[in-house]
Amino acid sequence: MKIKTEHLETLAEAIRKVKEAHPDVTLQSYIDNKIGKDHKLRWRWDVFWAAQKYLPEGFKRGGRGNCSVLSDYMDNSHIDTALRHILRDDLNAVA
């Protein structure tokens, strides 16, 4: 994975807070309600965008072009790999 360890931990903590705040917004609910063509991809990225609320300001605004620090050294495919890693238990829990 390309993400820096400290960034992975920060992102994982923000995602944990999203899941605590919204326990009903699960991958299974996306599948059951047919949200998105690729339910897993859509759910990962919706969780990622919801996690922005819980990230430190320096993380959100520290990168190139006043974007996330992740944009300095990662593209969307790298971020998606990190999301799959963080959310692996949820992703493996559904068929």
Structural domain for 52, as ranges = 5-93
User: What is the residue-level pLDDT of the chain in tens, covering all 95 positions?
Assistant: 999 999 999 999 999 999 999 999 999 999 999 999 999 999 999 999 999 999 998 887 765 555 688 988 999 999 999 999 999 999 999 86
Distance of CA 21 to the CA centre of its chain: 15
Tell me the one-letter amino acid at 40: K
How many Cβ atoms are within 10 Å of 79's Cβ, its own excluded? 19
Which residues have CB under 8 Å from 35's CB, separation 6+? 29, 42, 43
The answer to whether the pTM exceeds 0.75 is yes
Number of domains in the chain: 1
